[in-house]
Every structure is written in structure tokens, then in C-alpha cells.
Amino acid sequence: MIKRIDHIAIVVPDLEAGTGFWAEALGLPVERIETVPDEGVDVAFLPVGESEIELLRPTDTESGVARFLEKRGPGLHHICLEVEDIRATLDRLRAANVPLINEQPKIGSGGKKFAFVHPKGTGGVLVELYELPGQM
Ligand code: CO
């Protein structure tokens, strides 16, 4: 079961430019900014109801996000859906011949499980799946 949109991630060249529209013009709060060295990004989190806008700024020229910015410019990077059971969701997608970037869930901060679905199988949008800990 798909529970909600957890976040929408947008690549920005720098966080000031990125927060100009979302925080200053629109008035969304910047709840926190985290550095994620493994992915080579700084992330600004702007909550919107049950979801968040995440602004991703590459900190490492070799990261996937840096390559995305270089190739495609700033803009939508991925949409993340929270699911009840990530393994069941991946099985379902495999059965539907949807190409997966992560065949098995990875474990992220706070013990959440996540996996990416290839944009080739989704109509061109990178889709992330989350299963958050302590919830069924
Ligand atoms: Co994400």
C-alpha cells in the first residue's frame, strides 16, 4: 500500500538560490539543513503538510546529483512515496517488469528502508520508495 508522498526532491545550484522561491517568496519554513557526505549533497528540508520539499545541493562534483545538475540543470530530481512494505512493493514492480535501480532496499538514516525505481519504468521520473521504521 502507498501511504503518502514523503518528499519531493529538487536539485539547486546553491541553497540560497533554492530557498529564494520556496522559503522567502512562498514562505515555507526551512526546518533543518543536513549534510549527507555519502550522497555528496547538502539537503534543506521544508515541511509541507505530511510531506516535505527537499532541496539538494551537490557538495561533491562526482555525485549523482552533481552530474544531474550539470546535465539537466536545476529542477525536479525525484519523488518519494512512503509505502507500507517496501519488499512487497519491489516484488510487485518486478512482476510488472518495471526496472529498479535498487533490487533490494537499502538502509538509511534512522533505520528507514529505501530504494529507487528507474525513470525508464515510470514515465521519466525518478521514484524513491521509503518504508519508515516502527510502522506497519
Ligand atoms: Co529522496
What are the chain's domains?
2-131 (3.10.180.10)
Q: How confident is the model over 94-118, as a mean pLDDT?
A: 95
Residue 124 confidence (pLDDT) above 80: yes
Residue 108 has what pLDDT? 86
Alpha carbon of 128 to ligand 1 centroid (Å): 6
First to last CA, the chain: 10
CA of 116 to the centre of ligand 1 (A): 9
Report yes or no: 113 and 106 within 8 Å, Cβ to Cβ.
Answer: yes
Rounded to the nearest whole angstrom, what is the distance from the C-alpha of residue 129 to the centroid of ligand 1? 8
Cα(97)–Cα(51) distance, integer angstroms: 29
Are 128 and 116 in contact by the 8 Å Cβ rule? The answer is: yes
Residues flanking ion ligand 1, Cβ below 5 Å: 9, 80, 128
pLDDT more than 70, % of the chain: 99
Say which residue the cell 509541507 belongs to: 48
Q: How confident is the model at residue 53, as a pLDDT?
A: 97
pTM for this entry: 0.91
Distance 60 CA to ligand 1 centre (A): 17
The CA distance from 63 to 94, in Å, is 27
C-alpha of residue 24 to centroid of ligand 1, in Å: 23
**What's 59's DSSP letter?**
S
**Interval between CA 126 and ligand 1 midpoint (Å):** 10
Whole-number Å distance, alpha carbon 25 to ligand 1 midpoint, is 24
